[in-house]
Each structure stands twice: as C-alpha cells, then as structure tokens.
C-alpha cells in the first residue's frame, strides 16, 4: 500500500544475490535462501541459469584489468548459478555483512563465506556492493517482468508500520 511504502523508509531497497557455481555444486542454495528468509528479507526474483560470457563480462566490467579476471569469468561460467533479488530495509548493506569478506580467509564465522569457503577464488556467493550497483546488476540479470511485487502478511512484525 501507499501507507506502507511511505512509512517504512528504505524497505523497498533491492539487491542481487547469486549463488555461484561452486555454491550450487556444493548444495548450498537452500542454506543461503534460508538465511535471507529468516533475516526477514523478501524474495522478489529467483532463477537458475548458466550465465553467458557477455553477462559476466558486463557484471564484472570493473574488474576486467585484474589478473584474476580470466579465471573469475571461467569459474562463473563453469556451471549454473542461482540468481535472486531480495528486498527489504538496508538489504544491500545487510547482505554484504551476511555474505562476509570477499577473501574467504578473512570472512567471519556466521557469514556465508566464513562458514562455507576457504579461498577467495571459490567464495560461494555474490551480493551487490551498493544501491547503485544493485540497480545495475538487477537489470542485467533480470527482466522487469521476472520480478514479483507482493506483500508479506507479517510486515508489522518486521517493521514499524
Ligand atoms: N576474486 C578473486 N580474486 C581476487 C579478488 C576477487 O578470485 O583477488 C573474485 C571473487 O570471486 C570475488 C569476485 O572476484 O567474489 C569479485 O570481486 P569483488 O572485489 O567485487 O568481491 P565481492 O564483491 O564479490 O566481495
Ligand atoms: Mg563486488
């Protein structure tokens, strides 16, 4: 409702989270979804796909001159990923905390990377790192018709409405 969207500041922020090919192979999809659900975020988009080189080149455009870029693209194209859009208050920043440090060796226990990975090159999951980047990544990975607008029945348990 208009009331809900005007009162709950930032509750409609969205971010892209993707389980990378290693996370899919290791059967971590369910665990990762569970963490975002139980935190209180709302799933508004979900699909499994094998990413094209062009999507990945666009997605990692800023890293194209890094030495690890070719192996990063090979890794990300090596199998299916599960791409998701999650919505909620401060979801971009909160997701980065939930995912943990880029370098798995630095990622804290309790984070996805800190619980499930040992090396930066196989760090299980992606999450957008700013609101602007999230908007760009969501439109890269999803058509707008693939995103579902729906209301949780328990909003007042999550937010002061
Ligand atoms: N990466 C890597 N080696 C590095 C730095 C990054 O393999 O030295 C990979 C890693 O999979 C990381 C991705 O490149 O998740 C994107 O790097 P970024 O710095 O954007 O980290 P993220 O936003 O994923 O935490
Ligand atoms: Mg990044």
Q: How far apart, in whole angstroms, are the C-alpha atoms of residue 36 and residue 98?
A: 8
Cα torsion for 149, 154, 157, 159, to the nearest 10°?
A: 20
- What sign has the CA pseudo-torsion 150, 89, 47, 29? negative
Q: Which atom of ligand 1 lies nearest, measured to the CA of 96? A: 25
Q: What is the pLDDT of residue 6?
A: 44
DSSP secondary-structure letter at 109?
Answer: B
Residue 144 makes CB contacts below 8 A (sequence gap 6+) with none
Closest CA to 16 of 65, 49, 54, 53: 49
Residue 4 has pLDDT above 90, yes or no: no
Annotated binding site for ATP: 20, 68, 96, 102, 113, 123
Ligand lying closest to the C-alpha of residue 63: 1
Residue 23 makes CB contacts below 8 A (sequence gap 6+) with 29, 32, 82, 116, 124, 125
Residue 12 has pLDDT above 60, yes or no: yes
Ligand 1 centre to CA of 96 (Å) is 13
Ligand lying closest to the C-alpha of residue 68: 1
Q: Give the global pTM.
A: 0.94
In this structure, the residues whose C-beta lies within 6 A of any atom of ligand 1 are 63, 68, 72, 102, 120-121, 123, 126, 129
Span 144-161, pLDDT tens digits: 999 999 998 888 899 987
Q: Which atom of ligand 1 lies nearest, measured to the CA of 126? A: 24
| Annotation marks residue 143 as catalytic | no
Residue 38 has pLDDT above 90, yes or no: yes
- What sign has the CA pseudo-torsion 136, 142, 143, 145? negative
């Amino acid at each position: 409702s208009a009331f809900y969207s005007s009162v709950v500041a930032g509750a409609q922020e969205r971010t892209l989270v993707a389980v990378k090919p290693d996370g899919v192979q290791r059967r971590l999809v369910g665990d990762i979804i569970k963490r975002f659900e139980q935190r209180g975020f709302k799933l508004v988009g979900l699909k499994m796909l094998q990413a094209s080189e062009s999507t990945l080149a666009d997605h990692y455009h800023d890293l194209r001159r890094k030495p690890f870029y070719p192996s990063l693209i090979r890794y990300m194209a090596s199998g299916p990923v599960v791409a998701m859009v999650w919505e909620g208050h401060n979801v971009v920043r909160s997701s980065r905390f939930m995912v943990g440090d880029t370098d798995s060796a630095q990622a804290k226990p309790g984070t996805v990377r800190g619980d499930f990975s040992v090396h930066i090159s196989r760090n299980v999951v992606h999450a957008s790192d700013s609101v602007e980047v999230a908007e760009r990544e969501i439109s890269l990975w999803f058509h707008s018709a693939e995103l579902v607008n729906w209301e949780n029945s328990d909003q007042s348990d999550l937010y002061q409405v």
